[in-house]
A and B are shown apart, each in its own frame.
Chain A
Amino acid sequence: MKWLLSLFFIVTSLCANEADLIIKKLEKNLRGDYMYAQMKMIVSSKRGKRTVKIESWSKGNKKSFIKILYPKKDKGITFLKIDNQMWQYIPKIERTIKIPPSMMLQSWMGSDFTNDDMVKESSLEEDYRAKLLSKKGNSATLELIPREDAAVVWGKIIIDVDLKNAVPVKETFYDDMMQKVRVMTFSKVEQHGSHIVPMVMELKPLDASKKKNSTKIIFEKINYDAKIDPSYFTKHALKRYSR
C-alpha cells in the first residue's frame, strides 16, 4: 500500500515537473529576451471587418512599445507598457494619457483583447501552476490553475501544446465557475532565427451575443535576435517614435 502511494506521488510529481518544463519551454520560445515584430490585426464584428497594422518592440514580458501604422486615422498612436502601467499617446491631440484602472477592462483598439490583456500578457509560468492532463505522441494537454496571488480573472486555462515545436495550438480560457469564456488558436508555425513560433493567433469570445466577433493577429515579420534600444521603453518614446 505504502509502496503504491509513493509510486503515485513520484509519478504525479514527475508529471508536474514535466508540465512545468513544457510551459517553460513554451514561454521561452514565444517570448525571448527581445522581440521586434510587425503584425496585422483583423477584428471581425457585427459591424464588419477592420484591419490594423502594428509594429511592436518588447523586452521580456514586462516592457513593450507598440506603434499603430495603419489605418491612416490611427497612424502614429503609440502605447507603452511597463510592468502594470500603460500609457497611450495620440498624435492628433498631442497628448499622453495614462490608462486608469477603470479603463483597464475596455477593449484595446476595438479588438477582443482588453487593455488588461495587453498589460498582463501574463507569464503563464509566473501566474499559473501547470498540470499535465494527457500526452500523446507530439501533443499534450495541460491544465493551468492560477496561483494564489496571481491577479488574473481566469479560473483555469487548458492548453493544447505541440511538443515538437514547443508552441501552443489552442488555449481555452475558463471563468471562475469553470465555464468557457474564450478560445485562442495558434497556427502557421514557422522558424525565425532561434525561435519557432505560430504566425497566426485568433481569439474568439464564446459569449452568445458575441457570435460574430473574433480578433486575428497575423505576424508579418518577427525578429528575436536584434537588440532593442532601451529608449523605446521610456515615456519619451511615446511621442518621439510616433511619427
Chain B
Amino acid sequence: MMPKLTLLILQNMHSSVTQGKKMIFSLAFKNILKSKGRSVTTILLSTITTIFFIAYVGLTEGSRHQLIKNSVEIYTGYAHVNLKGYREDSGYDNLIENAGLIDKILTKDPSISHYAPRFETYTLLSTKEKSVGSLVAGIIPSREKSLSKLQSSLLKGDYLDDSDSNAIYLGSELAKRLKVDVGSEIAMVGSSIDYSIAADLLTVKGIFKTGLFEFDAQSAFVNKSYLDTIMLSDNKASYFTLYFYDNAPIDKATKALQSSLDAEYEAANWKDLLSALVQAMEVDRIFDYISISIFFMVIFFVIMIFSYVNIFTRVREIGLLRALGLTSKDIFMMLFAEILLLATFSVLIGILIGSSVVYYYELHPIVIPGIAETYKDYGIVSDELPMRFDLFTIAWNALTIFVFNLAAIVYPIIKINKFKVVEAMRYV
C-alpha cells in the first residue's frame, strides 16, 4: 500500500517537475519573442562577434598556412625519405645507395600521390668573369611538375625536360650574380660520388623566380639522368621528395611511411625539414591570440553589461514571478534558458555567415598588390591573402563566443536572485 502511494506521489512530482521544466522553457521562449528589441540586440551582438572572430582567425591562419604552403610547395615538398644522418651531414657519405629499392616501396604505397628522387650537390658554377659556389640538384623534370613550383616559376626561357643534357635551370638572383642570361654558357665543376672531378659545360635553358629570395639566389637544376652521367650517381639519390594524397594528417602519414622503410632510412615531414619556419609561425600565432584576447575582454564586458541591463529592466517582472511561486532556481533556469536560446541561435547564424565568408575568401583570396615585394625577405611570395577554412577552428571559435555569452550572464543572474521578492516588485 505504502509503496503504491509513494509511487503515485513520485509520479506526480515527476510530471509536475517536467511540467515545470516545460513551463519555464516556454516562459523563456515567450520572453524572447516579447521583447523583440532586446533580443535582436543580443543576437546581433553575439552574431557579429562570432563572425568577426571566425573571419579574423580565418585570415590569420590563412596567411600562416599560405606561408608554410609556399615554402613547402615551392621546393621542399611535404615529406622526404632519406638515409638516417643525411640531414645532419648532407655529403656523399649519406646517400641513398639503391634508389631503385626506395622507388619500389614508394610506388606501392597507396597513401603517396607523387614522389621523385633528387640528387643534390654543391658545385662551382663559373663564367668567364665570375665563379660562384651553388647548389645544383638533379631532378626528373616531368615529375617535379607535381612536386614543386619550379616549372610554374619560369621567368625566362624554358623549363627542363626529361631528355635534356647540358641544360641548366637557374634561380633569377643566381643568374644576376653570375651575370648570365638564357643561352649563356656556364662551366660546372664539382666532385662525383667517387670524388673524382665532375665537370661539364652547360647552357642556361631557363631562369626561374619563385619569390623566395634565398632560394632564387642559391639554386640551380639539371636533368637527373644527365647529372648521373657526370656525377656517377646512377641509381643513387640524396633523398626522395613526396606528396601524400592527404597532406593534412602529416604526422600520421609520415609515421606510417616510416614503418614500411628499413631502419637505416627515415621519413621526415616538412615540420622537421622547415623547423625554423614552424617556430616562427607559432610566435606569430601567439601574437595574434594576444591581440584578440584584448578584444574578447571587451566583448565579454559588453555582453555582460547588456545582460545586466536586460535583466535589471525586468526586476519587477521577476519579482512578480517569484511572488507567484517560482523559486530562485526556476528564475535562474528561465533566464539561463533565454540566453541559451539566444546564444545558440546567434552562434549558429554566426557560424553560417562566418564560414561562408571564410570559405569564399579561401577560394577568392584578398589581393593586396605589392606586399610580396616588400615582405620577400620573410618568405612571402604572392600578393594574395587567402583565408583558411577549417571546421575544427570555426567550431571552437564559435564555442568560445557561446561560452562567453553564458558566462557573462552568470553574475547578473546571481545578483538578481539576491533580491527579496517584495523588494523586487517595488523596484524603481
Assess whether A6 is interfacial by the CB under 8 Å rule: no
- For A47, give its contact among B93, B124, B126, B199 (CB under 8 Å): B93
The docked-state distance in angstroms from the alpha carbon of A107 to that of B189 is 13
A74 with B197, Cβ < 8 A, contacts A97-B124, A100-B133 known: yes
Interface string of A83-122 (1 = CB under 8 A from B): 0000010101101011110110011011100000000000
The docked-state distance in angstroms from the alpha carbon of A107 to that of B193 is 13
- Which residues of A sit under 8 angstroms from B197, Cβ to Cβ? 73-74, 77, 90, 109
- Which residues of B sit under 8 angstroms from A95, Cβ to Cβ? 126, 187, 189, 199, 201
Assess whether A50 is interfacial by the CB under 8 Å rule: yes
B358 to chain A, nearest CB (A): 47
- For B131, give its contact among A50, A77, A98, A106 (CB under 8 Å): A98
A103 with B191, Cβ < 8 A, contacts A77-B197, A95-B201 known: no
**Shortest Cβ distance from B94 into A: residue:** A46
A93 with B124, Cβ < 8 A, contacts A50-B194, A88-B189, A100-B131 known: no
A93 near B200: Cβ-Cβ < 8 Å: yes
* Those of A25-59 within 8 Å (CB) of chain B: 43, 45-48, 50
Assess whether B196 is interfacial by the CB under 8 Å rule: yes
Assess whether A138 is interfacial by the CB under 8 Å rule: no
The docked-state distance in angstroms from the alpha carbon of A106 to that of B187 is 18
- For A93, give its contact among B131, B133, B187 (CB under 8 Å): B187
A97 with B189, Cβ < 8 A, contacts A50-B196, A92-B200 known: yes
Interface string of B108-140 (1 = CB under 8 A from A): 000000000000001010100001110000000
Assess whether B246 is interfacial by the CB under 8 Å rule: no
Assess whether B92 is interfacial by the CB under 8 Å rule: yes
The docked-state distance in angstroms from the alpha carbon of A73 to that of B195 is 11
A206 to chain B, nearest CB (A): 15
B98 to chain A, nearest CB (A): 14
The docked-state distance in angstroms from the alpha carbon of A197 to that of B372 is 64
B131 near A99: Cβ-Cβ < 8 Å: yes
A102 to chain B, nearest CB (A): 4
Residue in B191, B193, B194 with the greatest tally of chain A CB atoms within 10 Å: B194
The docked-state distance in angstroms from the alpha carbon of A43 to that of B195 is 9
Assess whether A231 is interfacial by the CB under 8 Å rule: no
B187 near A97: Cβ-Cβ < 8 Å: yes
* Those of B170-209 within 8 Å (CB) of chain A: 187, 189, 191, 193-197, 199-201
B93 near A46: Cβ-Cβ < 8 Å: yes
The docked-state distance in angstroms from the alpha carbon of A159 to that of B196 is 32
The docked-state distance in angstroms from the alpha carbon of A25 to that of B375 is 61
B131 near A110: Cβ-Cβ < 8 Å: no
A103 with B89, Cβ < 8 A, contacts A93-B199, A93-B201 known: no
A209 with B187, Cβ < 8 A, contacts A98-B131, A110-B196 known: no
Interface of B is mostly: strand
The docked-state distance in angstroms from the alpha carbon of A77 to that of B93 is 25
The docked-state distance in angstroms from the alpha carbon of A138 to that of B153 is 69
**Shortest Cβ distance from A90 into B: residue:** B199
B131 near A71: Cβ-Cβ < 8 Å: no
A97 with B195, Cβ < 8 A, contacts A46-B93, A92-B200, A209-B89 known: no
B200 to chain A, nearest CB (A): 6
A11 to chain B, nearest CB (A): 48
A235 to chain B, nearest CB (A): 14
- Which residues of B sit under 8 angstroms from A92, Cβ to Cβ? 199-200
Residue in B85, B126, B191 with the greatest tally of chain A CB atoms within 10 Å: B126
A45 with B93, Cβ < 8 A, contacts A97-B187, A99-B131, A100-B124 known: yes
- Which residues of B sit under 8 angstroms from A109, Cβ to Cβ? 191, 195-197
A209 near B93: Cβ-Cβ < 8 Å: yes
B196 near A73: Cβ-Cβ < 8 Å: yes
- Which residues of A sit under 8 angstroms from B195, Cβ to Cβ? 43, 45, 47, 50, 107, 109-111
**Shortest Cβ distance from B194 into A: residue:** A50
- Which residues of A sit under 8 angstroms from B131, Cβ to Cβ? 97-100, 103
B84 to chain A, nearest CB (A): 12
A107 with B93, Cβ < 8 A, contacts A50-B196, A77-B197, A92-B199 known: no
The docked-state distance in angstroms from the alpha carbon of A99 to that of B124 is 8
A84 to chain B, nearest CB (A): 16
The docked-state distance in angstroms from the alpha carbon of A104 to that of B191 is 14
B124 near A103: Cβ-Cβ < 8 Å: yes
A95 to chain B, nearest CB (A): 5
B173 to chain A, nearest CB (A): 15
- Which residues of B sit under 8 angstroms from A99, Cβ to Cβ? 124, 131
The docked-state distance in angstroms from the alpha carbon of A114 to that of B196 is 14
Residue contacts A-B, CB under 8 angstroms, 20 given: A43-B195, A45-B93, A47-B92, A47-B93, A50-B195, A50-B196, A71-B196, A73-B196, A73-B197, A74-B196, A74-B197, A97-B124, A97-B126, A97-B187, A100-B124, A103-B131, A109-B195, A109-B197, A110-B194, A110-B196
Known: A43-B195, A71-B196, A88-B189. 14 other contacts (CB 8 A): A46-B93, A50-B194, A50-B196, A73-B196, A92-B199, A92-B200, A93-B187, A95-B126, A97-B189, A100-B124, A109-B191, A109-B197, A111-B195, A209-B89
What residues make up the interface of A, taking CB atoms closer than 8 Å to B? 43, 45-48, 50, 71, 73-74, 77, 88, 90, 92-93, 95, 97-100, 102-103, 106-107, 109-111, 209
